[in-house]
Amino acid sequence: MRFVPRFLVFVLALMAVPPLALAHHDHVEATNVWSRATPPGAKNGAAYMILTNDTAKADRLIDAASDVAERVEIHTHLMENGVMRMRRVEGGVDVEPGTPVVFQPGGLHIMLMGL
């Protein structure tokens, strides 16, 4: 039986916009990976995807990295006093078996800073 790591470190390759499989984790997959083109001179952007866990064990996305951004953080949007704000997700994002995690505009996203 193959050991499935409890924590998954995910390296985001922004250039690979079509469905991207995590090479060294057979059963946790990132699909529908996409990002909007940024306007000229924009310093920040965001990437979106669907994470699917086909293993029997919970996993967690704890970090992301990209060679096109100086800093990469996992963000979500929260309503605060009637205003939608972006917040860094502390402690990572759980990816439970059978429950896809959708990163999408207005919700979870991979924040790319310093493009």
Cβ distance to Cu ion smaller for residue 55 or 76: 76
- Which residues sit opposite 112 in a β-bridge? 45, 72
Number of residues that bind Cu ion (CB under 5 A): 3
Q: How far is the CB of 87 from Cu ion (least distance, A)?
A: 8
Name which of residues 55 to 114 contact Cu ion (CB under 5 A): 75, 86, 111
Cβ distance to Cu ion smaller for residue 65 or 86: 86
Q: How far is the CB of 50 from Cu ion (least distance, A)?
A: 18
**Contact positions toward Cu ion, by CB under 5 A?**
75, 86, 111
